Amino acid sequence: MEDFSRILEKFIAETLTPEELPEFLSRAGEPANQSLIQQSLAQKMESDHFVDLSEGADLEALFTQVLGRAALQEWTGQERQSDPEKQTDPEKQTDPEKQAGSEKRPDIEIRDNRFRRSWFRYAAAAIILFLAAGSVLVIVRKSQKTNIAARPVKSDVLPGGNKAILTLANGEKITLDSAANGILTQQGSATVSKTGNGQLAYNQSPEKATRILYNTLITPRGGQYQLILPDGTKVWLDAASSIRYPTAFTGKTRKVEVSGQAYFEVVHKETSSFEVSAGGLEITDIGTHFNINTYPDEPLKKITLLEGAVAVTANETRLELKPGEQAQSAGGGLHLAGKADVNAVMAWKNGEFQLSHIDFGTLMRQISRWYDVDIAYEGKIPDKKFWGTMNRNVNLSRLLEVLHDYGIETTLQGKKLIIMK
């Protein structure tokens, strides 16, 4: 086993390899090594940007905050793809302070090869947070305070939120984001209520419905909403989406119609299957959690299964999915795409933009729907790839700063976002 002091020297020099990092972190907690670590890091941090928060600091919260940035993942996930020469020569690595525009912000986590050195600061902070009993050190970069102010924003757009319009059986419309919480109306045998957490719920009475009524829930661009159907099935609607459903389920089939994107957590019933019609696809569920993406401006319609079992049918083709698999449809055809990136699929529901493995055009369509802006290109669509995640609950200006960091210039004219290059 390699001497710990040598591994520590590599850590301080920022030449520790991804394979050596787990061993370093596991041995860092040994009492015999803690004093050596603290001495070495104290010397290192004399020239770095850390601030002492020893008085009144919440150790557990700060520890979670630091690790929550996933900076170690940036190192282990990105360094493998970078130039091997740059991995061992710190002089050839990009200085983070010269990349003020690339600063990691609390609401933005973009992973890129430009952040190869940032893992050290986060790892060091994590270790100190773990070791220090009376003193806590947290990263504070000098450029962070000046980065945003350096590019003033003339106009801005707020992120989307809980917005939806409910259309009743008689055509009456209720704007849910301005409606008061509580009972909204009675639809047949079901009581319709708006709860305090941006959710619409149907409570069906024990009496059998004598007449089937249909309601439609529509989210505009910049909106999202949650729905609890009469059988207890939960539905999350993304922006620019809709669902049409009966106010009471009777018979052997529970059927709804969806456009756009929706996530379902279906209540299983032995005597009644659950079916969804979406963009020419028929999804038959058996106690399942699944996501549907059938936006008309997307090249592919996608059905992703998270739990349970589901069958997807298009024309004469029928596929049965296993958890983690995705079915894709284009031009009326249907095929099994294999294992899906579930984190990317579910990012919208979890309040994030998942940037990894999507092209620039896809990202812009998501931005258009969430911020309710129209996208225009002055030239070709940029051929840019991103890594990481971004919080959806930030103003558009924050996202435009990230694009600027990647060399993409934009201008916002009212509700029109122009991509300059």
Average pLDDT of the segment spanning 71-95: 40
Q: What does the mean pLDDT of the chain come to?
A: 76
Residue 118 clears pLDDT 60, i.e. is over it: no
Query: What is the pLDDT at residue 383?
Result: 85
End-to-end CA distance of the chain: 52
In a domain, 347, yes or no: no
In sequence order, what are the beta bridge partners of 263? 236, 291
Residues in contact with 239: Cβ distance below 8 Å, sequence separation at least 6, in sequence order: 160, 219, 220, 221, 222, 223, 224, 260, 261, 369, 370, 372
- Edge-to-edge strand order for the sheet containing 410-413? 374-377, 416-419, 410-413
Same domain, yes or no: 35 and 140:
yes
Residue 52 clears pLDDT 50, i.e. is over it: no
pLDDT in tens, 275-298: 999 999 999 976 789 999 999 999
Same domain, yes or no: 331 and 397:
no
Of 147, 176, 195, the domain-final residue: 147
Question: What is the pTM (predicted TM-score) of this model?
Answer: 0.66
pLDDT category at 405 given cuts 50, 70, 90 is confident
Residue-number span of the structural domain to which 406 is assigned: 352-419
In a domain, 154, yes or no: no
Percentage of the chain exceeding pLDDT 90 = 47
CATH no. for residue 369? 3.55.50.30
Query: What is the pLDDT at residue 13?
Result: 67
- Which of 352, 306, 351 has the alpha carbon at shortest distance from 326? 306
H/E element holding 123?
helix 118-131
In a domain, 152, yes or no: no
Compute the distance between CA of residue 8 and CA of residue 24 in angstroms, rounded to an integer: 7
Residue 183 clears pLDDT 50, i.e. is over it: yes
* Domains in the chain, number: 3
Same domain, yes or no: 85 and 206:
no
Of 319, 342, 365, the domain-final residue: 342
Same domain, yes or no: 194 and 338:
yes
pLDDT in tens, 364-382: 999 999 999 999 999 888 8
Same domain, yes or no: 248 and 308:
yes
- Which of 309, 335, 334, 337 has the alpha carbon at shortest distance from 323? 309
Same domain, yes or no: 296 and 326:
yes
Same domain, yes or no: 100 and 182:
no
